[in-house]
Amino acid sequence: MLAALYSTDGDPPELEIRDIPTPSPGPGEVRVRIAISGVNPTDWKTRKGLTGRSASPPGGFQIPNQDGSGTIDAVGDGVSTERIGQRVWLLLAAHGSSYGTAAEYTVVPAAKAIPLPDDASFELGASLGVPALTAAYCLTTDGPPAGRTVLVSGGAGAVGHAAIELARFEGAASVIATVSGPAKAALATEAGADTVVNYRDSTAADRIREAAPTGVERFVEVAIAENLELDLSVAAPGAVIVAYAADSTSVAHAPVRRLMAANIALRFMLLYLVPAADLQAAVARTSAALAAGALSALPIQRFSLHEAGAAHDAVEGGAVGKVVIDLNQD
């Protein structure tokens, strides 16, 4: 099979396209013929050694990308053959495995291949995984968002987009999104945000307070080091702020007494370390929203497998929309 991969034996982590043996599923695994591979920031960061996680298990190579979609074409011992031919979306395919989704095939534990409804596109399936499960977990770390006011920072990003749609589906009283410009505001509005605010405007806090007079109760936060002061200025007593992204230099200066006086909780999450039961709950909630037609894909930026390096570069450069590798594109 053709795969985009990089060496894990000390060479520079540049992607190359090679023909390697097609893997066979082991016990409890399925093999998936990939249609679309989704690219997330975690993929290029892991390749460049910026996440603090091991690039791959021993083996000398790593096929990147955690997310993807496709069709099961083989199963290992202990997996029902009825799953052969099933359309699926994948999660954490490259976590603890050399076989990510930037290839014609991957093998994953059967539980990581989630049924994809017939009316959901492969592009949408490849947009779930890391973004949707991160959003689902952030929204419910302290109970469901139903009846609460939610603020999603970075509302035009993949996690932000999913968080807006999931919050709407799960009955949030109001969803506010912050963005950095008009094009991103349009994406957040299309996802279903009730109020969209440019966080760079001097009146951002005032506009959020107008939309949430009693304060914001739940925050899905992409940049807590930069946004904490804005968040605290609009937070309701007892609010929960969940941060899901940071780089190695991020430092948030927390005004402890101010947090204590309002009983505000700061929480941090990394999808790879979410407890299994909580991850399964996030999968179930994402699947329910998907089945109800409540989730959509961002505008797609499409690359071929031979352009996998350019796809990673696009995400690293802050591409707007969803970057994917189309395994059916030459």
Q: In this structure, are 83 and 159 located in the same domain?
A: no
Q: In this structure, are 180 and 154 located in the same domain?
A: yes
pLDDT given for residue 1 in this prediction: 97
Which range of residues forms the domain containing residue 255? 131-273
Q: In this structure, are 107 and 137 located in the same domain?
A: no
Who contacts 285 (Cβ-Cβ below 8 Å, separation ≥6)?
136, 140, 166, 170
**pLDDT class for 250, splitting at 50, 70, 90?**
confident
Q: In this structure, are 145 and 101 located in the same domain?
A: no
Within 10 Å of residue 200's Cβ, how many Cβ atoms? 10
- Which of these ranges, 58-72, 189-203, 222-236, has the smallest mean pLDDT? 58-72
pLDDT given for residue 52 in this prediction: 64
Q: In this structure, are 139 and 122 located in the same domain?
A: no
pLDDT, tens digit (0-9, with 9 covering 90-100), for 158-194:
999 999 999 999 999 999 999 999 999 999 999 999 9
- Which of these ranges, 109-113, 191-195, 249-253, 302-306, has the smallest mean pLDDT? 249-253
pLDDT given for residue 14 in this prediction: 85
CATH number at residue 250: 3.90.180.10
Is residue 137 helix, strand or coil?
Answer: helix
Count up the domains in the chain and report the number.
2
Q: In this structure, are 48 and 150 located in the same domain?
A: no
Is 258 part of any domain?
yes
Is 246 part of any domain?
yes
Q: What angle do CA 26, 29, 34 make, to 5 degrees?
A: 110
Q: In this structure, are 135 and 239 located in the same domain?
A: yes
Q: In this structure, are 151 and 75 located in the same domain?
A: no
Q: In this structure, are 160 and 232 located in the same domain?
A: yes
Is 285 part of any domain?
no
Is 268 part of any domain?
yes
Is 286 part of any domain?
no
pTM over 0.85: yes
**pLDDT class for 58, splitting at 50, 70, 90?**
low
Is 284 part of any domain?
no
**pLDDT class for 289, splitting at 50, 70, 90?**
very high
Q: In this structure, are 140 and 120 located in the same domain?
A: no
Is 228 part of any domain?
yes
Q: In this structure, are 114 and 167 located in the same domain?
A: no
Within 10 Å of residue 25's Cβ, how many Cβ atoms? 22
8 A C-beta contact, residue 20 and residue 324? no
Is 282 part of any domain?
no
Q: In this structure, are 199 and 320 located in the same domain?
A: no
Q: Which long-range contacts (CB under 8 A, 24 or more apart) does 207-213 make?
A: 208/151, 208/176, 208/178, 208/234, 209/234, 211/174, 211/176, 212/149, 212/151, 212/174, 212/176, 212/236
